[in-house]
Structure 1
Amino acid sequence: MLVLLPANPYYSAYPELLWVGRVNCNPNYFSLGVKSEREELYDREEELSILERATHPIITLTGIRRLGKSSLLATALKRKNALVVDFRGTGPNPSPILLLNRFEEAVNSSGLKSLWEHLSKHISSITLGSLGVSFAKTKPLTVSFATLFDTINEHAESMGIDFVIAFDEAQEARGYKPLVGAIAHSYDYNRRIRFVLAGSQTGLLNDFLGIQDPASPLYGRYVYELALKRFSREDSLEFLRRGFKACGKEPVNIEEAVQRLDGIVGWLVYYGYMCLNEDANLARVVDSAVNLELEELSKLKGKYYRLILKAVTLGANTWSEIYRYVKANSVALSDASFNEALGRLIKYSILEKKGEGYMIPDPITNEAAKRL
């Protein structure tokens, strides 16, 4: 079975990033879309093994943006009995119809015809066509996630298989609490189903699941936490060496590139791609990446977010230093509103707390924040 991911809104916003470029590479480490071929992933053997085996009822796959979570999911679950549901761009308060649309897309792109037939046979509001299934989108909904999970479990039981349901950027669905209840129900009763919940905003994902929250349906359930880390300096250098070699090219300024991009594979890929296809130097690549990141940061609507990030880029790293900067550049700042904004940036994984200090973990985000 081939798992095809639904369209990624990030790449849809920049259609020029979808093609792999004019240089022929084998394997192509520097292609910019979501990867699903093992030979195009560098390292990550341990993480792939955990996801491929999926022996835990719930796995969370976390890490800041551009560490390759989507590619890891697509590769690990390729040709598996699995669905990868892309929740990007649905949050923070998605309608159940929107989430069901994404689930329907994942079912159809999976190509699992036996699953299509089982769903349409056992859920009256699901019809079968030549290209897949169609969910009835009536109000109130006639199909729930709990029913879908139960029915997929029945299918897996009949086939004697385990089945993985993965949600990419799962925290985007945080405004729809019944999904957590459906996952908890499945955890308790559906022995054939495993869940993988991937998210780049770790704090929001943890809040959504509520493993430590007595009011959450998932309170006290065991969750295996798989945290994706950035590459080490040596791994970053080796990744770029192999990437250029696979394209028949000599490495270009990779020592300085690794120093500037700091082991974040998405930016290393972007560097390799731009060098090969645009004859770009490091300064141009960093400037282009910063402009992309500025568009992301411009979506932040909180009152103090930009001031907090600006303070960190100027060298303030303790609570009191950041607070003094924000207070000096705003009107009527309270401790409560400041702490809320600071905490939100941490939950968004834009800011990271280490000991008593705060930092921006992505060097490109740090450069972009200087321009706010």
Structure 2
Amino acid sequence: MLVILFDGRPKETKEELYDRDEELNQLRSTVSEPIVLLTGIRRIGKTSILKAFLNDTSLPHALVDARIPLSSYRAIYTMFSEVLSQLNKRLPIKSVLQHFRGISIFGVNVSLSWDPRERVLLTQVLDRINDEGKVIIAFDEAQNLRGKLGHEMLSILAHCYDYCKNVTFILTGSEIGLLYDFLKVEDPSSPLYGRHLEEVRVNRFDSFRSIDFLERGFEQAGMTPTKDVLEHAVEELDGVVGWLTEFGLRCLRAKEVKKSFVDDVLELAMRTTVEELSHFSREYVTIVEAIAKGHGRWSEIKRYFEDKRRRTIYDAELGRYLNNLEGRGYVVKSGRGNYQLADPVIGRAFNFLRR
């Protein structure tokens, strides 16, 4: 039994994706741009779309998981060693690289020395790659590139923006605010100041597509769920493909489709969010809980926080928490000044499990 849609791992090909032609076409239309941002909330399918796009293109490309912060030159040179190794599989760049000091080549694998006495300038390497033709370099969860050497990375991006017309960078980000904070296109001190960045936004499925996604996934598994169960799942999981997939997976494992599995997914959503936020402090969990319960105005959040935590919170502290939550993609601010959760499933999870 091959169930592609309910496979919890990122998809690899466009045939495995469900109804993401619009996003794929947008990416195809932007490959002539220097920098493209692929953005969307967590578990919306950005990595799947990116992988499917790259595997469908004939252009040489590299995809690197950027979740390891750039805290040292060793980290940044190791990351670009991986980039060059992947490009070397698809583009004959050995002859280009072997003349550089500090670069070792073993078959298709490329190793860059980070020793300050011999490390090569990465911009010089990318200049030579640019001379060989069009390439795509993608960094998944690129907001993590903002570490200690984030400015070094910005300088590389800015150099390629200006001088390497054959190099396109695709940067994905769930923490959209942090991604823009890293790029600093509105900061005069940033190497990327004033540069135009293309953005492809990955949105949730509407209710029709959500039901169709579930129906097709269950059809692949030879299962026929009732309409009311599907409608309940779609109403609660709100078109977020990661949560819909998790629901489908749980049904497949149990070999039956039940409404109670929706509650299990909601519990997972809340537990995951609490765990993520607890890496910072419990205060973040309290603020998310307040917004989930409909307390979206500043004064309401402040009152809920003080009642819950039994202490005073000053405006500067609350502002810092809200700005961090917004930057990390948990919270969005409406035009009327109200705060909402970026993923409504999280709100339903808090309300369902903490009432």
TM-score normalised according to structure 1 size = 0.84
- Deviation at residue 189 of structure 1 after TM alignment: 0.6
Task: Say if 1:155 and 1:295 are closer, same or farther in 2 by CA, change over 3 A.
Answer: same
Q: Which residue is equivalent to 1:125?
A: 102
Task: Say if 1:330 and 1:116 are closer, same or farther in 2 by CA, change over 3 A.
Answer: farther
- Deviation at residue 332 of structure 1 after TM alignment: 4.6
8 Å contact 1:94–1:173 — kept in the other structure? no
8 Å contact 2:266–2:349 — kept in the other structure? no
Amino acid at match of 1:95: S
Distance 2:238 2:62 in 1: 32
Helix, strand or coil for the counterpart of 1:40?
coil
**After superposition, where does 1:311-326 map in structure 2 within 5 Å?**
311-326=290-305
- Deviation at residue 289 of structure 1 after TM alignment: 4.1
Distance 2:265 2:204 in 1: 19
- Deviation at residue 118 of structure 1 after TM alignment: 4.1
Distance 1:333 1:293 in 2: 22
The two structures, once aligned, show a CA RMSD in angstroms of 2.3
Amino acid at match of 1:170: A
Once the two structures are aligned, what percentage of the paired residues are identical?
36
Amino acid at match of 1:32: G
Give the one of 340, 343, 354 matched to 1:362: 343
Amino acid at match of 1:81: P
Distance 2:270 2:315 in 1: 31
Q: Which residue is equivalent to 1:165?
A: 137
Distance 1:368 1:298 in 2: 17
Deviations 1:89-124 (A, max 9, x none): x23x63332233233234434562544514531432
Give the one of 64, 81, 92 matched to 2:41: 64
8 Å contact 2:332–2:339 — kept in the other structure? yes
Task: Say if 1:102 and 1:30 are closer, same or farther in 2 by CA, change over 3 A.
Answer: farther
Helix, strand or coil for the counterpart of 1:112?
helix
Amino acid at match of 1:128: I
Task: Say if 1:141 and 1:240 are closer, same or farther in 2 by CA, change over 3 A.
Answer: farther
Amino acid at match of 2:333: K
Helix, strand or coil for the counterpart of 1:77?
helix
Distance 2:46 2:118 in 1: 31
TM-score normalised according to structure 2 size = 0.88
Distance 2:252 2:244 in 1: 12
Give the one of 40, 47, 62 matched to 2:16: 40
- Deviation at residue 246 of structure 1 after TM alignment: 2.2
Deviations 1:176-222 (A, max 9, x none): 21111111111111111111111011111111111111111111111
Helix, strand or coil for the counterpart of 1:133?
strand
8 Å contact 1:294–1:369 — kept in the other structure? no
Q: Which residue is equivalent to 1:244?
A: 218
Q: Which residue is equivalent to 1:14?
A: none
Query: What runs of 5+ residues in structure 2 fail to find an aligned partner?
Result: none
Q: Which residue is equivalent to 1:339?
A: 319
8 Å contact 2:5–2:17 — kept in the other structure? yes
8 Å contact 2:60–2:91 — kept in the other structure? no
8 Å contact 2:274–2:285 — kept in the other structure? no
Q: Which residue is equivalent to 2:182?
A: 208
Task: Say if 1:358 and 1:140 are closer, same or farther in 2 by CA, change over 3 A.
Answer: farther
Distance 1:251 1:149 in 2: 53
**After superposition, where does 1:89-104 map in structure 2 within 5 Å?**
90-91=68-69, 94-104=71-81
Helix, strand or coil for the counterpart of 2:222?
coil
